[in-house]
Structure 1
């Protein structure tokens, strides 16, 4: 027993079969030692290739995907899934960042989305690029030549996927057109990230 009758805190080790290095990263990110990672702890841990922190909206999107128990935090197993997801996306990003600039330009974005099966019109591609490009005053740095940083690339791709799936659920005859009420439209858009 320690002072005041309290047992000293035992250092928990990794769960059986866990990657020890990933466990060390998880415990380093869990700054309040709660055994779970909050959105702000996760944001402090995730950085882009240019050493800028991940955009908070992207971190929140990742949390909604990986917080499977809807606790508002990410436990170790959820973190392990999130870590693999980010590593996979890093490979995708490097593949499409053909000029090696560390950001995705409009041409690279169009190529990526086309290869993912999303054939967006030029005006829609331009809108997506403008929405996700980094600029002065965003608080997260500036991407090279107005490009899209890694975190925002992931968010753009995930949002396009989720919006496309929401549209497809409403396009029951698969003709590329839907008729929706105002309530249906608002529910669809507001439930998207």
Structure 2
């Protein structure tokens, strides 16, 4: 069996990052809905990384410096999981036309873990559905040499658009959007995984 065939048959490891840590957030419920929806997409191995479960320091070391012992302990859990992922899905709200500081903090603590991997988005928040947060995230990930997929899942007005269980009320539209985004993420994830295995990325 060729290397390409093996890479295609191996499940795609997808890290689902829950970006909000606010009290009373909808983020974890939205992530749980997405994971349940993604379970119907064959060939995915999903790992939920909830930033509310981490204690990442806000202050990073100077250029070339080592993280503090507290930071190193926090990174010891999340960094290997990001490194092992073939692709990412970021679940983010929109705060003041952008994304949460907690999410930017996680992103900035890492670099090579994002490189040459695809990123999809599930956003929520008000009438805009979090789309402005996603538009701000795209150039951030481009700077880190990641590839953001075109289609995203946008949940509009979560306080009225989501049920008590966190599932969107308009399930047909939202599940269709998730299916489209996952299809693109799967293609890019497998293509880039094969490319990294055969020709390491030079960022």
TM > 0.5 fold call: no
| Greater strand proportion | 2
Q: Which has the higher contact order (CA 8 A, sep 6+)?
A: 2
Could you state the TM-score of these two structures normalised by the residue count of structure 1? 0.28
Q: Which has the higher helix share?
A: 1
